[in-house]
Amino acid sequence: MRILSWRLIVALVIGVTLVSVASSWYEVRSQKDALRSDLERKAGTLGESLAATAQLYLLAGDRDGLEEMVERFGNREHLIGIGVYGSDGSVLAITPALNSLMPGSPRILTDSLRANRGESNYMRLHFRRVYVLAMPLHGPRGAVIGGILMAHDTGYIRTEIFLVWGRVFVRIALQVLVIVAITILIVRWSLTKPIARVADWIKALRTGQHAPPPAPSDMDFLLPLTREVAPLARSIQTARGAAATEARLRIANESEWTAQRLAAHVRSRLEGSSLFVVANREPYIHNWRDGVIQMSVPASGLVAAIEPILCACNGTWVAHGSGNADMEMTDEHDRLQVPPDEPLYTLRRIWLSAEEEDGYYYGFANEGLWPLCHNAHTRPIFRASDWEHYYNVNQKFADALVEEIGAEEHPVVLIQDYHFALLPRMVKNRLPQARIAIFWHIPWPNPESFEICPWQRELLDGLLGADLIGFHVRAHCNNFLNTVDHVLEARIDWEHFAVKRNDHTSLVLPFPISVECCDDTGARSGTDVADERRAVLKAAGIEATYIGVGVDRIDYTKGIIERFQAVESFLERYPSYQGKFTFFQLGAPTRTHIKRYADFQAEVEAEASRINARFKRGRWSPIILQVRQHSKQEVQRYYRIAHLCMVTSLHDGMNLVAKEFVAAKQDERGVLILSQFTGAARELRDAIIVNPYDIEATGEAIAQALRMDVNEMTERMRRMRNTIREHNIYWWASSLIGTLCEVRLEQAEQVAVSASDRVTVET
């Protein structure tokens, strides 16, 4: 680094000096030309004046007058001497200095007389630099009657130029010193120290020590290196964390799933086959912002679970290209290699028109299937045009998926959610050798409810094209099997949870989805959490002692209004908490194209305003509603500072907010209030389980949470965190894909027996 600094300084000194000398040369040349021009102008003026006087003396024959004139003007500044000559070049009057310097008749004078015009020249005479001007003298009718010659000493110009060069070199020296000093400071502050900090950080990582990453400003100027070092650092941290976890688990004789373990496990199960994932949402989104394409990664547990597998097996993710700059980032085959830092798998984007998106996504999927599957008292809307778009979009995804699979002999396909109920059959009919699974992330209703759908047979037949159909809980599996039994001609194997139809067997099994592992390294102290809590309250402009939090999309299935009413009931029954308890509701706007969602958002805002108007006083407010998109970091911050979290869904498949809250509570100080109508309630039994329709009982749960003994609170939270740690998102992915990989298409019934026996989660 020191050698580099000196090289930089020397290069700067040489460069600055050369540039300064070059620019100064033009400056000196201009100064020299200006001095010469000034001398020539003055000499010409004086010459014309003396020539007029000399002509009068010559015409009058007054030689004494000529000598007097020469003597009087011969001692002017920088003037060496004056000489007056006859028409034949003979000397008529001359100063001694000029006579000694230019005796006789100088050539320049004879040239001037012969040409009958003024002549001038710079010359060196007896080691002196002089400027000589010769002019003819005229008589009547313009006849040449003589000449006049003047010689000026130009040595003062040279002296002035030397002085200018001296000033230039002094200025250059000062500039160089200043630039060197600034360079040294810049190198030290912006180069040496940041590189030293980055080096210390890398050294700490290499030696296994804990060290925070350098500030972004330290890495900016090393952008190309950063692109390589940052992923390398993350890889080192991840590898060390995984190694530490594995060591801890070996000591404790336990087994915890990590991204690395999942990737290795599934890679061995795939046995060389490729994995193809189909989802409506893509893992990387590109959008234009302020004239620049920016990439974002949606906060999704699914991405966290599936991406390590795709990276390990060079798989493919097929998704709707929803970003307004997605098309610019793909190649001519609509493909993009991801992740950007280290491309390891393919993202295939599908383009949908606005009409297709309205019909397939907003229409059939979210105005039809979503309310149909959620018992949230919103009437499903089914339109023939929406069904047509839903069918066509599923067909479009099937075409793209078959194209991506190509000649793959034993592809493994994982389809996500209710957007693609028809896709398994479409793919299976064209690729019978493919092993296909679909995971249904929302509840499955009872047969009587499902009968509402005009296309129930087509949807069930589409789903039964899969070899494995996954739900969150056993109850949803039962509902699905009952629906199939009620609607289609099929043989239901209740013992092994399988459906056989048209010589094809589909397993129907529960796979409770989860979140990433609980991180106990670097747990925050009570002081840190208290400081964060004060900062959040200050930013909100309120004062409070206790904080509750809810994190949801603004969806009518989430029980947000019932939650607000429970807060109202709690404050009514326990007025001592008025002025002390504030509930933060983080609400992400969703599906606002659909009228029911837009209306519901207005209802939520009106209910919050009503309750606040009733109780608000001073700097305290009972409910803070924040309707906007929140980053993962923001949400985690609210989880950490909250005394309680309310998850009051009216009907839900799993609800990962409950698990995210538990995973974020490193200090184990917090209480989860959880709806009995969520899949999470089957696993997180140490939460306070409530019926969200019972407003008063839910309000009592808030009081119970705030008054809970610290020992009981931490014990409950510890047990829930252990549950999530054992059954995290990587465990979910390994169970789902591992079971699918074990499906032997030619022995489906035998596999149904073994796979069902291996599933140990009973909900």
Chain segment 710-737, per-residue pLDDT in tens:
999 999 999 999 999 999 999 999 999 9
**pLDDT score recorded for residue 747:** 41
- Of the listed ranges 103-107, 289-293, 567-571, 581-585, the least confidently predicted one is 103-107
* Pairing between β-strand 144-153 and β-strand 128-138 as defined by DSSP bridges: antiparallel
Say whether pLDDT at 748 is over 60. no
**pLDDT score recorded for residue 259:** 85
Say whether pLDDT at 223 is over 80. no
Length of the chain measured in residues = 763
CA distance 575 to 680: 32
Would you place residue 754 in the very low, low, confident or very high pLDDT band (cuts 50, 70, 90)?
Answer: very low
Which H or E run includes 350? strand 345-350
Say whether pLDDT at 557 is over 80. yes
CA Rg value for the chain: 46
Say whether pLDDT at 138 is over 70. yes
- The tens digit of pLDDT for each residue in 491-526 reads 999 999 999 999 999 999 999 999 987 666 556 666
How many other C-beta atoms are found inside a 10 Å radius of the C-beta of residue 544? 22
Say whether pLDDT at 601 is over 90. yes
- Of the listed ranges 15-29, 112-126, 549-563, the least confidently predicted one is 15-29
Q: What integer is the mean pLDDT of 414-419? A: 96
**pLDDT score recorded for residue 228:** 60
CA distance 146 to 90: 9
CA distance 648 to 570: 15
> Quick one: three-class SS letters along 453-519?
CCCHHHHHHHHCCCCEEEECCHHHHHHHHHHHHHHCCCEEECCCCEEEECCEEEEEEECCCCCCCCC
Start-to-end CA distance of the chain, whole Å, equals: 62
Say whether pLDDT at 396 is over 90. yes
DSSP string of 283-302? SSEEEEETTEEEEE----HH
C-alpha dist (Å) from residue 498 to 441, 525, 741: 19, 50, 17
- Which two tokens mark 653? 């498949």
- Of the listed ranges 54-58, 326-330, 598-602, the least confidently predicted one is 54-58
Say whether pLDDT at 445 is over 70. yes
Chain mean pLDDT for the chain:
88
CA distance 332 to 504: 37
Helix, coil or strand: residue 267 = helix
652 with 714: CB under 8 angstroms? Answer: no
**pLDDT score recorded for residue 760:** 42
99-113, 238-252, 723-737: which is most confident:
723-737
**pLDDT score recorded for residue 206:** 62
Q: DSSP H helical segments within 130-154, as ranges?
A: none
Q: To which residue do tokens 């600055």 refer?
A: 16
- Of the listed ranges 71-85, 318-332, 581-595, the least confidently predicted one is 71-85
Phi, psi dihedrals of residue 757, rounded to the nearest 5°: -65, -30
**pLDDT score recorded for residue 2:** 59
Say whether pLDDT at 536 is over 90. yes
477 with 618: CB under 8 angstroms? Answer: no
C-alpha dihedral (608, 610, 614, 616), degrees to nearest 10: 40
Q: Which residues are within 8 A (CB) of 515 and not within 5 positions of it... i.e. 6 or more apart?
A: 301, 656, 659, 660, 663, 724, 728, 729
CATH numeric code, 2-159: 3.30.450.20
Q: What integer is the mean pLDDT of 329-347? A: 93
Exposure class string for 191-218: b at 16+ Cβ within 10 A, else e: bbebbebbeebbeebeeeeeeebbeeeb
CATH topology of domain 526-726: Rossmann fold (3.40.50)
Would you place residue 286 in the very low, low, confident or very high pLDDT band (cuts 50, 70, 90)?
Answer: very high
Instruction: Report DSSP state, residue 422.
Output: T
CA distance 729 to 517: 8
Q: What integer is the mean pLDDT of 617-627? A: 96
- Of the listed ranges 138-142, 189-193, 257-261, the least confidently predicted one is 189-193
Helix, coil or strand: residue 364 = helix
Q: What integer is the mean pLDDT of 415-430? A: 97
> Quick one: three-class SS letters along 579-647?
CCEEEEEEEECCCCCCHHHHHHHHHHHHHHHHHHHHHCECCECCEEEEECCCCHHHHHHHHHHCCEEEE
Q: Which residues are within 8 A (CB) of 422 and not within 5 positions of it... i.e. 6 or more apart?
A: 390, 391, 394, 395, 458, 459, 462
C-alpha dihedral (676, 682, 687, 692), degrees to nearest 10: -10
Cα dihedral 369, 373, 378, 382 sign: positive
Would you place residue 763 in the very low, low, confident or very high pLDDT band (cuts 50, 70, 90)?
Answer: very low
**pLDDT score recorded for residue 328:** 95
Would you place residue 218 in the very low, low, confident or very high pLDDT band (cuts 50, 70, 90)?
Answer: low
Say whether pLDDT at 186 is over 90. no
**pLDDT score recorded for residue 183:** 76
- The tens digit of pLDDT for each residue in 74-96 reads 778 888 899 999 888 888 898 88
Q: To which residue do tokens 């609607």 refer?
A: 487
Would you place residue 305 in the very low, low, confident or very high pLDDT band (cuts 50, 70, 90)?
Answer: confident
DSSP string of 41-108? HHHHHHHHHHHHHHHHHHHHT-HHHHHHHHHHHTTSTTEEEEEEEETTS-EEEE-HHHHHHS-S--HH
Would you place residue 687 in the very low, low, confident or very high pLDDT band (cuts 50, 70, 90)?
Answer: very high
- Of the listed ranges 33-42, 235-244, 653-662, the least confidently predicted one is 235-244
Q: What integer is the mean pLDDT of 749-761? A: 44
Would you place residue 462 in the very low, low, confident or very high pLDDT band (cuts 50, 70, 90)?
Answer: very high
112 with 138: CB under 8 angstroms? Answer: no
